[in-house]
Amino acid sequence: MMSRVVRLGLALALPCVFVTASTAQAQATATAPPVSAQQPADTATLPTAQSIIDKHIEAIGGRKALQGHSSVAVKGTMEVPAAGIKGPIELYSARPNKMTMKATLPGFGDLTEGFDGTTAWSINPMTGPMIATGEELEQKAFGANFDRTLGMADQYESMKTVEKTTFEGRPVYKLALTRKGGAVDTEFYDAETGLKAGSIIDAKSPMGTVTATSVISDYKKFGDILQPAVVKQSASGTQVIMTFTEIVYDKVDPAVFELPAPIKALIK
């Protein structure tokens, strides 16, 4: 469930937001959080990737709790510090693979994106209505899987624990998750608490590939699930901070996943 919240922002919002925010802060700079240099280690002594993921699942509430929910609604704020802009964001997800997002950034307007199980789309003031195709569509479909955390082994070609290292000053296990097709997602899990600490992934967008580093923190209990309240994501010299203040399960209106009229017009 934690990964659902983070992926909502990353799979949908960020490719568009990073492009928009980069324009707003053309003269500003920001860097992704550093990851320590690799430390020599005998990989045979490291816990398996699956055991690390299982520990994370238990740490946030357990499989039964995750399986007990069919949708999630998230509200909070999205901020681009270097550009001095901040506005509300709403994220919705439902089983098996539906997602939608709306963010309002002062000076730019509404940024909306979604995936209804078939069509991945976006609408923003810079590009107007667009439909994702090719690798971008595949990525958004992949990110929309409501139960990804519970079945990661089925979604990746391989999962490997690379090393025990440090990330944001904490001891973590670094996992390399290879997708079918060759793309590799890097994820970091706290070696002591089991909670996911961050990730590095390549996000496809109409403007090209964006490599995004996420730092996940401030875990809080929402309902029966422990969720991160703050996600800081950096890419292309821009940092975006999402702060979640409300997370509600099983009350999402299916209508939020319907295609907007401008997208339906493109399909016709």
pLDDT in tens, 50-80: 999 999 999 999 999 999 999 999 999 999 9
Domains of the chain: 2-267 (2.50.20.10)
Q: Is the omega angle on the peptide bond into residue 171 within 30 degrees of 0, that is, cis?
A: no
Which of 37-41, 44-48, 118-122, 199-203 has maximum average pLDDT?
118-122
Q: Rounded to whole angstroms, how far apart are CA atoms 51 and 153?
A: 11
Global pTM reads: 0.85
Task: Pick 44 or 149 by higher pLDDT.
Answer: 149
Interval 100-117: pLDDT, tens: 999 999 988 999 999 999
Position 233 scores a pLDDT of: 93
Structure tokens at 195: 């909670």
Q: Indicate the range of 15-24, 64-73, 137-146, 256-265 predicted with least confidence.
A: 15-24
Confidence of residue 232 (pLDDT cuts 50, 70, 90): very high
Confidence of residue 6 (pLDDT cuts 50, 70, 90): low
Radius of gyration of the chain (CA): 18
